[in-house]
Chain A
Amino acid sequence: MTEPWWISIIKAIVMVNVVLVGFAYLTWLERKLLGRMQLRYGPNRAGPFGLLQPFADLVKLVRKEAFAPSSAIGIPYILAPIIAAFTAIAAFSVIPFGPGWTVHGWRINGVVANVSIGLLLIFALGSVGIYGFIVGGWSSESKYSILGSMRTCAQLVSYEVSLALSVLGVVILGRSLNLSEIVHRQGEVLPFVIPQFVGMVIFFIGGIAETSRAPFDLPEAEQELVAGYHTEYSGIRWGLFQMAEYINLITLSALLVTLFFSGWHGPWGLGPLWFFLKLFGALSVFIWLRATMPRLRYDQLMRFGWKVLLPVATINAVVTALVVVWV
C-alpha cells in the first residue's frame, strides 16, 4: 500500500513547519542551556522563561536594514543564503520519525520521502549546501568574508569525508542506505551504537565540525574573522544563514539518533515522541560541548580531520566489513 500523494504533501508542509519551529526553539534552548551552564539565566524577559525570545529575534531581524555592500555581486549574494537554508531543510525530508501508520485505510509513512538511497541524499544535499557558504562569502567582495568562507568550506569538505566513511559501518550492518530500513533493523537487532561505538564517536566529532559548532567554530568566531562568510549580511539574510546552520545541526543530530540510537524505537510505541526526546538529548550534548570546550585553532582542526579522523573512520569501516563477512 503506497501513500497517497496528498498525504505526502500535507506531511511535507507539516514537517517543514516543525523543522522551522524546532529551529526557533533550538536557539531558545541553546541560549538558556548555555546560560545555565555559565551560571547565568538565559533570556527570561520576553515572555515567561524567555519563550517568546525567538519571536522577538525574528521581528528584530525582519525590521533591520537589509544593507548590502555596493560591490557585492547581485544574484549570487541574494541566492547564497537561500541555497544554504533550502538544502538544510530539504535534508530533513528523509529522516524517519515514526513506524508509519494506517488510518482509515490510508497509509501514512513515517518519513516525508521514502527514498531508497536516503543516506546518500543527505550527504549530497549537505555538499550542495556548502555551495551556499562558498558563494555567500565570495560574492560579498570583502576580505573577511572570503577568508571566512574559504576556511569554513575547507573545514566542511574535509570533515564530510570522515563523516561519510564513519557511516559505512552502519550501512553494512543495516544492509541498506534507506534510513527507514536502518531504523527497522535497529529495532530487530540492537541500536547500532553498541557494535559501532567508534563509528558513533567519529560521526559525532565529524558532525560537530560539519556544522561549525564549538570547538570547531573558528571560521565564524567573532574574535577571529569578525563573522566569516556572513559578515556582510544583515537582517533576514543573516537570519537565513543562521537558520541553515541550526537546521544543519538539527538534521545531523536527527541522523545521529537515526543511525546509532535506533531512531523512533522505544517502549509503548510512541514513535515520534521517542524520536524527539532523543533528538533533544543529542542537541543538548552539542550545546554542552559548546559550553565546555575551547576552540581549536584552524591548523589543529584540519590536521585532526585528515590525520586522525579519516584513518580511524577508514579502519572502522574495514574492520566492520571483515567482521561481518567472516563472522
Chain B
Amino acid sequence: MSPQPYSTLKGFGVTFKQIFKKPITQQYPEFKRPVYPRFRGRHRLWMHANGLEKCVGCSLCAAACPADCIRVVPAENTPDNRVSAGERYARIYEINMSRCIFCGYCELACPFDAITLGNEFELSEYNRDDQIYTKDMLLAAPVKRTPVADPVLYDTPIPFYKTDS
C-alpha cells in the first residue's frame, strides 16, 4: 500500500484549510513593527543646551565611514560668528543617504558625541538629489514615523539622548 496518493490528497486538505485561517502577513503602513532602541537609522547632529553645535568639523566621521558618504568642510569660528563649542565648526556637512550603509562607525568615531544614529528608517525620496542630507536637515529632529520598542525592557543602560532620537 504505497503512501503516495494518500499523502498528496492530504496535501490538498492542508492547502484547502489554509484558506480559512487568518493570514500572517503584517500589513505595513497600518501596522509598523517597532524597532529596538539601538536600531541604526537616520543620523542626527546634536547641539549643546546653550545652542552651540557639538560638531567641530574634525572629519573623523568622514574618515571612519566605509562607504565614504560624509562630506565635511570645516571653517574657523570667529568671535562674532560662533557656531560650535570649539575652534572650528563644520561649514558644510552632508551625508549621502543613498550611499550610507547605516553601520554606525561615524557615531563610534565621533569624539564629541555630535552625531548619532536614530531610529527612523523610512527615508524614501523621489529624487536622488533629495537623498543628500545637509547639515540643517541633520540638525533638525526627524519626523517620527517609526515605533520604537520600550527601552525599559532592555537592561543595558541607554544614554540620555537616545530616548529622544
Q: Which of B12, B16, B24 contacts A39 (CB 8 A)?
A: B24
Cβ–Cβ < 8 Å partners of B27 in chain A: 41
Query: Please, how many angstroms separate the alpha-carbon atoms of A288 and B19 in the complex?
Result: 10
Within 5-25 of B, Cβ neighbours of A (below 8 Å) are at: 8, 11-12, 14-16, 18-19, 21, 23-25
Give 1 or 0 for each of A273-306: 1 = CB within 8 Å of chain B CB. Answer: 0000000000000001001110000000000000
Cβ–Cβ < 8 Å partners of A37 in chain B: 15-16, 18-19
Cβ–Cβ < 8 Å partners of B16 in chain A: 37, 288
Q: Is the CB of B24 within 8 A of A293?
A: no
Cβ–Cβ < 8 Å partners of B18 in chain A: 36-39
> Any chain B CB within 8 A of the CB of A40?
yes
Q: Which of A39, A288, A292 contacts B23 (CB 8 A)?
A: A39
Query: Please, how many angstroms separate the alpha-carbon atoms of A35 and B19 in the complex?
Result: 9
Cβ–Cβ < 8 Å partners of A41 in chain B: 23, 25, 27
Q: Which of A38, A40, A293 contacts B8 (CB 8 A)?
A: A293
Give 1 or 0 for each of B18-56: 1 = CB within 8 Å of chain A CB. Answer: 110101110100000000000000000000000000000
Q: Is the CB of A288 within 8 A of B15?
A: yes
Closest beta carbon of chain B to A100's beta carbon, Å: 37
Cβ–Cβ < 8 Å partners of A292 in chain B: 8, 11-12, 14-15
Closest beta carbon of chain B to A64's beta carbon, Å: 20
Interface centre among A33, A39, A41 (most CB of B within 10 A): A39
Query: Please, how many angstroms separate the alpha-carbon atoms of A38 and B18 in the complex?
Result: 7
Q: Which residue of B lies closest to A215 (CB)?
A: B8
Q: Which residue of B lies closest to A285 (CB)?
A: B12
Q: Is the CB of A35 within 8 A of B11?
A: no
Cβ–Cβ < 8 Å partners of B21 in chain A: 39
Task: Decide if the interface of chain A is mainly helix, strand, loop or mixed.
Answer: helix
Q: Is the CB of A40 within 8 A of B25?
A: yes
Cβ–Cβ < 8 Å partners of A39 in chain B: 18, 21, 23-25
Query: Please, how many angstroms separate the alpha-carbon atoms of A35 and B16 in the complex?
Result: 12
Query: Please, how many angstroms separate the alpha-carbon atoms of A19 and B27 in the complex?
Result: 33
Query: Please, how many angstroms separate the alpha-carbon atoms of A33 and B12 in the complex?
Result: 14
Query: Please, how many angstroms separate the alpha-carbon atoms of A35 and B15 in the complex?
Result: 11
Cβ–Cβ < 8 Å partners of A38 in chain B: 18
Cβ–Cβ < 8 Å partners of A288 in chain B: 12, 15-16
Q: Which residue of B lies closest to A36 (CB)?
A: B19
Cβ–Cβ < 8 Å partners of A293 in chain B: 8, 11
Q: Is the CB of A40 within 8 A of B24?
A: yes
Query: Please, how many angstroms separate the alpha-carbon atoms of A293 and B14 in the complex?
Result: 11
Within 83-140 of B, Cβ neighbours of A (below 8 Å) are at: none
Query: Please, how many angstroms separate the alpha-carbon atoms of A37 and B15 in the complex?
Result: 5
Q: Which residue of B lies closest to A290 (CB)?
A: B15
Query: Please, how many angstroms separate the alpha-carbon atoms of A39 and B26 in the complex?
Result: 11
Query: Please, how many angstroms separate the alpha-carbon atoms of A120 and B61 in the complex?
Result: 76
Query: Please, how many angstroms separate the alpha-carbon atoms of A36 and B24 in the complex?
Result: 10
Closest beta carbon of chain B to A164's beta carbon, Å: 26
Cβ–Cβ < 8 Å partners of B24 in chain A: 39-40
Q: Which residue of A lies closest to B25 (CB)?
A: A40
Q: Which residue of B lies closest to A44 (CB)?
A: B27
Cβ–Cβ < 8 Å partners of A291 in chain B: 15
Q: Which residue of B lies closest to A291 (CB)?
A: B15
Give 1 or 0 for each of A34-52: 1 = CB within 8 Å of chain B CB. Answer: 0111111100000000000
Closest beta carbon of chain A to B142's beta carbon, Å: 26
Report 27 cross-chain contacts, Cβ distance below 8 Å, ordered by A residue.
Answer: A35-B23, A36-B18, A36-B23, A37-B15, A37-B16, A37-B18, A38-B18, A39-B18, A39-B21, A39-B23, A39-B24, A39-B25, A40-B23, A40-B24, A40-B25, A41-B23, A41-B25, A41-B27, A288-B12, A288-B15, A288-B16, A292-B8, A292-B11, A292-B12, A292-B15, A293-B8, A293-B11
Q: Which residues of B contact A (CB under 8 A)?
A: 8, 11-12, 14-16, 18-19, 21, 23-25, 27
10 closest cross-chain pairs (CB), A and B:
A37-B15, A292-B15, A40-B25, A36-B19, A291-B15, A40-B23, A292-B11, A37-B18, A41-B23, A39-B23
Beyond contacts A36-B19, A40-B25, A292-B12: 16 other A-B pairs, Cβ-Cβ < 8 A, are A33-B19, A35-B23, A36-B23, A37-B15, A37-B18, A37-B19, A39-B18, A39-B23, A39-B24, A39-B25, A288-B15, A288-B16, A291-B15, A292-B8, A292-B11, A293-B11
